[in-house]
């Protein structure tokens, strides 16, 4: 049994769904451009630099979910998929997932972006399992808070190992394990798998992959 793990933003997607969701809400007039656009860009730059305070960011990202009924959010998300996500889903990324699925590997997308944004994207890629930051819900509506450990940096390892335990697995259950990622933020999980693969990596990850002889591919 093999395990194939995929980061989502700037890995399977040729862009960042977290960033684009906020931009979509700004363009739609749901969020005030003057108040939110510069802050959204600032958080994105912090993420790329490896300096993001995940709890500060999640407060920014999840609060808007609490201000609107789930039915309205779901309708907006359908439009978001058409306008923003589908253009970021390239054939090379689809083919990579398909190869692992055809080999019978257990496939999971593991992402810091919250599951409201990412669950429909995982389904579009045909990936059964999603491990993501979970927004807290009460009665089917979002509270604006995070539930449990954010799926970010070391938190990805925590969330993944919890997911394994729930299924009666551990690292020894898998003959082979792959993780595909573009980001220095994913170094903790990349170091855990047998086959770490840098995908169109940032400079820090590229240097690390070169030093340690990791695989490197492009999906662009």
Mean pLDDT for the stretch of residues 17-35? 92
Gyration radius of the chain's alpha carbons: 17
Q: Convert the pLDDT of each residue in 125-177 to its tens digit.
A: 999 999 999 999 999 899 999 999 999 999 999 999 999 999 999 999 999 99
Mean pLDDT of the chain: 95
Catalytic (active site) residue 9: yes
What the chain holds in terms of domains, given with CATH numbers, is: 2-217 (3.40.50.1000)
DSSP state string for 107-171:
EEEEEEEEHHHHHHHHHHHT--EEEEEEEEEETTEEEEEEESS-SSTHHHHHHHHHHHHHTT--G
Share of the chain above pLDDT 70, in %: 100
Catalytic option among 9, 18, 182, 202: 9
Contacts 24+ apart (CB under 8 A), 89-93: 89/12, 89/13, 89/14, 89/121, 89/124, 89/125, 90/14, 90/219, 90/220, 92/218, 92/219, 92/220, 93/11, 93/12, 93/13, 93/14, 93/125, 93/219
Catalytic option among 7, 18, 105, 202: 7
Largest CA-CA distance found in the chain, in angstroms, rounded: 51
Q: Convert the pLDDT of each residue in 176-219 to its tens digit.
A: 999 999 999 999 999 999 999 999 999 999 999 999 999 999 99
Share of the chain above pLDDT 90, in %: 86
Tell whether pTM > 0.85.
yes
């Amino acid at each position: 049994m093999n395990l194939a793990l995929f980061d989502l933003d700037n890995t399977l997607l040729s862009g960042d769904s977290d960033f684009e969701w906020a931009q979509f809400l700004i363009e739609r007039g749901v969020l005030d451009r003057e108040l939110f656009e510069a802050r959204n860009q600032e958080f994105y730059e912090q993420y790329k630099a490896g300096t993001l305070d995940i709890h500060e960011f999640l407060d920014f990202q999840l609060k808007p979910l609490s201000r609107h009924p789930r039915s309205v959010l779901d309708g907006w998300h359908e439009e978001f998929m058409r306008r923003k996500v589908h253009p970021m889903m390239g054939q090379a990324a689809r083919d990579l997932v398909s190869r692992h699925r055809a080999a019978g590997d257990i496939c999971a997308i593991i992402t810091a972006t919250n599951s409201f944004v990412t669950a429909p994207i995982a389904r579009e890629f045909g990936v059964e399992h999603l491990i993501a930051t979970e927004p807290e819900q009460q009665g089917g509506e979002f509270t604006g808070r995070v539930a449990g450990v954010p799926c970010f940096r070391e938190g990805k390892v925590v969330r993944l190992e919890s997911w394994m335990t729930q299924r009666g697995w551990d690292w020894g259950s898998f003959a082979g394990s792959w993780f595909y990622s573009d980001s220095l933020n994913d170094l903790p999980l990349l170091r855990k798998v047998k086959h770490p693969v840098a995908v169109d990596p940032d400079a820090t990850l590229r240097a690390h992959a070169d030093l340690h002889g990791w695989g490197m591919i492009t999906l662009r």
